Amino acid sequence: MWYEILRWSLLALALGPFGYYLLAITAARRFFRNRPPIQRDFTPPVSVLKPVRGLDRKAYENYASFCRQEYPEFEIIFGVTEDSDPAIPIIRKLMQDFPQCKIRLLIGAEPLGTGDKVNKLCRMVREAKYDILIISDSDIRVAPGYLYAVAGPFADPKVGAVTCLYRGITDGTLVSEMEALGNTSDFDAGVLSAWQLGGVDFTLGATMATTKERLAQIGGFEALVDHFSDDYELGHRIHALGYRVEVTTFPVFTVFPTQTLAQCFRHQVRWNLTMKHSQPWGHFSLIFTQGLPWAILAAAIAPWWQLSVFYLAGYAVLRGTMAWTVGVWGVNDPLLRKKMYLVPVRDGFAFVVWLTSFFKRRIEWRGSYYYIRNKRLVPAG
């Protein structure tokens, strides 16, 4: 008797991912159905802040995509910690190749806390000329129209921050492709599901845009120098003041590095730990987005073969539909369009990463190790 109760309880729980897939499909259709045209009648000057550490793959092309923006008035500020940073020659070449673009390079930042990136942002904000600040990671590449798409929502005074979904550019290796496919087929779906359920209260590192006034209201980046997740916390604190965090329909590209499977695994575990400490229940609830292991478990314990087929087919159809709706139709990811068959492989990898995150206490970021305590970074010695 107890076995039957357990079996049917697990079979009921295994329906959870199907509900999530349907939610994400509905959210994507609603979000992308009426994509507004890029507004060009609100063009306030903007400062683009690019904190840099080390040399990312295709760095020149990534940086140049910002210089090619046809926007009336903007500046780009690069910030590095040391004058030996290998990205500096690339930035100086950029200055030569785009003389019409206002580019500045800041070297060094006051060590206000453990977060090297946020230390640099503190100085960059102080030296930025314009009120609207657009911060993006150094591995981001953008298409024409990006600055219009990100600055436009600030015409509404209720908007406190703007962020973007993203897709990937890889080196063609299986490891990088799996990570990139996870972004467009799964991570973006999670963001849209949050949007569908009541709105987004966070920003993403691919684009964090706000104003100097809104930033000052939360204590500036100085309030985040020891925080382990500056992108999430920036949007969360601005949203808590009553402002809206806007997600644009204009996606950007993340250029993934050449990496080993172990490096990719550590990076994904770090992302899971970020969510675990910022949204503990959200991290735990990821179990109900893990359709592959649930489908396999349900198929193994189902009392009839027809029910086994239902769960396996349900995963294949709904997961595939979600990936296509969000990643191909929504953010127009060319990689996912070609490599849809890798989604189950990525899902199996993601499940192992999620399980590992419950037992991991230390994170690695660009060669440095930290513990997370009370949502703050503590050097691991």
Cα(5)–Cα(322) distance, integer angstroms: 31
Structural domain count of the chain: 2
Residue 306: which domain range?
2-31+278-365
Cα(215)–Cα(121) distance, integer angstroms: 12
The per-residue pLDDT for 369 is 66
**pLDDT tens digit sequence for 205-261:** 899 999 999 999 999 999 998 877 888 899 999 999 999 999 999 999 999 999 899
The per-residue pLDDT for 161 is 97
With respect to residue 379, please indicate whether it lies within any of the assigned structural domains.
no
**pLDDT tens digit sequence for 275-291:** 877 778 888 888 999 99
With respect to residue 371, please indicate whether it lies within any of the assigned structural domains.
no
**Average per-residue pLDDT for the chain:** 91
State whether 101 and 122 are in the same domain: yes
The per-residue pLDDT for 371 is 63
Mean pLDDT in residue range 340-345: 95
With respect to residue 264, please indicate whether it lies within any of the assigned structural domains.
no
State whether 67 and 175 are in the same domain: yes
Domain boundary among 204, 225, 258: 258
With respect to residue 68, please indicate whether it lies within any of the assigned structural domains.
yes
State whether 89 and 225 are in the same domain: yes
The per-residue pLDDT for 36 is 75
**Does residue 366 have a pLDDT over 90?**
no
With respect to residue 272, please indicate whether it lies within any of the assigned structural domains.
no
Tell me phi and psi for residue 107, to 5 degrees. Answer: -115, 120
CATH value at residue 244:
3.90.550.10
Domain boundary among 258, 293, 317: 258
Q: What secondary structure, in 3-state letters, does the chain show?
A: CHHHHHHHHHHHHCCHHHHHHHHHHHHHHHHHHCCCCCCCCCCCCEEEEEECCCCCCCHHHHHHHHHCCCCCCEEEEEEECCCCCCCHHHHHHHHHHCCCCEEEEEECCCCCCCCHHHHHHHHHHHHCCCCEEEECCCCEECCCCHHHHHHHHHHCCCEEEEEEEEEEECCCCHHHHHHHHHHHHHHHHHHHHHHHCCCCCCCECCEEEEEHHHHHHCCCHHHHCCECCHHHHHHHHHHHCCCEEEEEEEEEEEECCCCCHHHHHHHHHHHHHHHHHHCHHHHHHHHHHCHHHHHHHHHHHCCCHHHHHHHHHHHHHHHHHHHHHHHHHHCCCHHHHHCHHHHHHHHHHHHHHHHHHCCCCEEEECCEEEEEECCEEEECC
With respect to residue 381, please indicate whether it lies within any of the assigned structural domains.
no
**pLDDT tens digit sequence for 115-155:** 789 999 999 999 999 999 999 999 999 999 999 999 999 99
Is residue 378 very low, low, confident or very high in pLDDT (cuts 50, 70, 90)? Answer: low
State whether 173 and 238 are in the same domain: yes
With respect to residue 103, please indicate whether it lies within any of the assigned structural domains.
yes
State whether 285 and 191 are in the same domain: no
**Does residue 379 have a pLDDT over 80?**
no
Is residue 198 very low, low, confident or very high in pLDDT (cuts 50, 70, 90)? Answer: confident
State whether 14 and 45 are in the same domain: no
With respect to residue 54, please indicate whether it lies within any of the assigned structural domains.
yes
The per-residue pLDDT for 284 is 86
State whether 126 and 227 are in the same domain: yes
State whether 111 and 126 are in the same domain: yes
Domain boundary among 258, 289, 320: 258
State whether 245 and 292 are in the same domain: no
State whether 105 and 15 are in the same domain: no
State whether 306 and 186 are in the same domain: no
State whether 193 and 60 are in the same domain: yes
